[in-house]
């Protein structure tokens, strides 16, 4: 909405000098031509005047272009300034290394406030080690904010977060963040072979570990259709792959890290329902000692999770299995019904 407001307000202003320039040239050519034809001015004077007019027109066009660039730069500066002013999260004094993590997570009375608005309030949640948990809820309900607290992108003003009974603020950031693999909805792939994109950051993984990651993410299903298999160049930002394939390559990359905690932030949004179910099933069986947190807007992709957390307005309003939440007839059941109507299929 802000971008549309900016374009509506500034595009006409940026085009104004150009419109004035063209209109002025048209009027001068019309009347100047008439004067030249009538002999009131010479053709040479008319041509000279048009030459000077061209110089003036270029200056007017430069003014319009400069104004547009100024407004774009000002907007970019306004967006980046709050980021530069944010407090940098650093290791606390006496921060300890994190021992081998099992991925047991607890949120105890967690609250986060920003600009006078509560993004999270009174969040109490236990995610057992090895479980596959889904976070669902309306846009802006606090799902991504909640998982960002795990890796200390920011710290809550209330409560605490524990990993294996260690307060995350008491742990060294390097150890904490190496324990968590995060896969966003929009991932970045390099213009390199497929296998190098999976090995990114983990060049020493074995071939068996690579194949396991490819199998769990179901990238292996597509290798036969790729011209050079694992040597296939995916192109800049993965342009040679479909949206679902790019997301699954990113998941394979995260799995190859062998993290204690795997977070998929709507990273199955472009994956079909059947393949998503297969991925979840393998994550549960093969990664049974790892904790997986799935943020989703499409409930069909996460309905087979061990349990589902429903968030609204920064609070946990429901939790349970898919069937239990359907039986409650609350917010989750309404979301499922709306999704079923939109997709023309029943999820229950």
Residue 345 has pLDDT above 60, yes or no: no
Residue 346 has pLDDT above 50, yes or no: no
256-265 mean pLDDT: 90
One domain for residues 174 and 267 = yes
Residue 74 has pLDDT above 80, yes or no: yes
Residue 59 has pLDDT above 80, yes or no: no
Q: Give the separation between CA 196 and CA 285, rounded to whole angstroms.
A: 26
One domain for residues 252 and 286 = no
Q: Give the separation between CA 106 and CA 164, rounded to whole angstroms.
A: 8
256-278 mean pLDDT: 87
- Identify the pLDDT of residue 87: 67
Least confident of 16-20, 74-78, 80-84, 312-316: 16-20
Residue 236 has pLDDT above 60, yes or no: yes
Question: 268-310: per-residue pLDDT in tens?
Answer: 888 888 888 888 888 777 667 789 999 988 888 888 889 999 9
H-helix segments, the chain: 2-37, 43-85, 143-150, 173-178, 194-199, 207-216, 243-256, 273-286, 322-328, 331-343
One domain for residues 278 and 131 = yes
One domain for residues 252 and 270 = no
Contacts with 223 (C-beta within 8 Å, 6 or more apart), sequence order: 214, 229, 230
Give ∠ CA 15-20-24 in degrees, rounded to 5.
150
One domain for residues 216 and 230 = yes
Query: Which domain-ending residue is among 85, 119, 137?
Result: 85
Instruction: Give the domain range for residue 197.
Output: 192-258
Least confident of 62-76, 210-224, 311-325: 62-76
One domain for residues 205 and 70 = no
One domain for residues 64 and 154 = no
One domain for residues 72 and 156 = no
One domain for residues 142 and 276 = yes
Query: Which domain-ending residue is among 218, 242, 258?
Result: 258
- Domain total in the chain: 3
One domain for residues 238 and 276 = no
Residue 134 has pLDDT above 70, yes or no: yes
Query: Which domain-ending residue is among 31, 63, 85?
Result: 85
């Amino acid at each position: 909405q802000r971008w549309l407001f900016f374009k509506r307000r500034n595009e006409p202003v940026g085009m104004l000098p150009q419109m004035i320039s063209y209109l002025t040239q048209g009027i001068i050519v019309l009347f100047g031509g008439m004067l030249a034809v009538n002999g009131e001015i010479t053709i040479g004077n008319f041509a000279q005047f048009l030459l000077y007019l061209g110089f003036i027109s270029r200056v007017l066009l430069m003014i319009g272009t400069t104004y547009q660039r100024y407004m774009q730069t000002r907007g970019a500066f306004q967006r980046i300034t709050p980021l530069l002013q944010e407090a940098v999260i650093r290791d606390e004094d006496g921060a300890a290394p994190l021992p081998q993590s099992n991925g047991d997570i607890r949120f105890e009375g967690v609250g986060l406030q920003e600009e006078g608005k509560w993004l999270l309030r009174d969040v109490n949640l236990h995610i057992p080690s090895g479980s596959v948990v889904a976070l669902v809820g309306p846009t802006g309900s606090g799902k991504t904010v909640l998982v960002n607290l795990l890796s200390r992108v920011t710290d809550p003003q209330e409560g605490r977060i524990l990993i294996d009974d260690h307060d995350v603020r008491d742990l060294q950031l390097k150890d904490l963040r190496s324990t968590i693999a995060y896969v966003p909805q929009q991932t970045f792939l390099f213009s390199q072979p497929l296998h190098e994109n999976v090995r990114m950051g983990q060049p020493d993984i074995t071939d068996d570990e690579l194949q396991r990651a490819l199998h769990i993410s179901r990238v292996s299903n597509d290798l036969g259709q790729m011209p050079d298999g694992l040597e296939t160049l995916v192109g800049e930002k993965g342009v040679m792959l479909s949206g679902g394939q790019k997301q699954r390559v990113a998941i394979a990359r995260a799995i190859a890290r062998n993290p204690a905690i795997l977070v998929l932030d709507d990273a199955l949004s472009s994956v079909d329902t059947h393949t998503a179910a297969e991925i979840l099933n393998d994550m549960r069986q093969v990664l049974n000692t790892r904790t997986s947190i799935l943020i989703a807007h499409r409930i069909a992709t996460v309905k087979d999770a061990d349990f589902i957390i429903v968030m609204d307005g920064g609070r946990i309003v429901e939790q349970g299995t898919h069937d239990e939440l359907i039986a409650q007839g609350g917010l989750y059941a309404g979301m499922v019904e709306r999704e079923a109507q939109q997709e023309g299929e029943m999820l229950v």
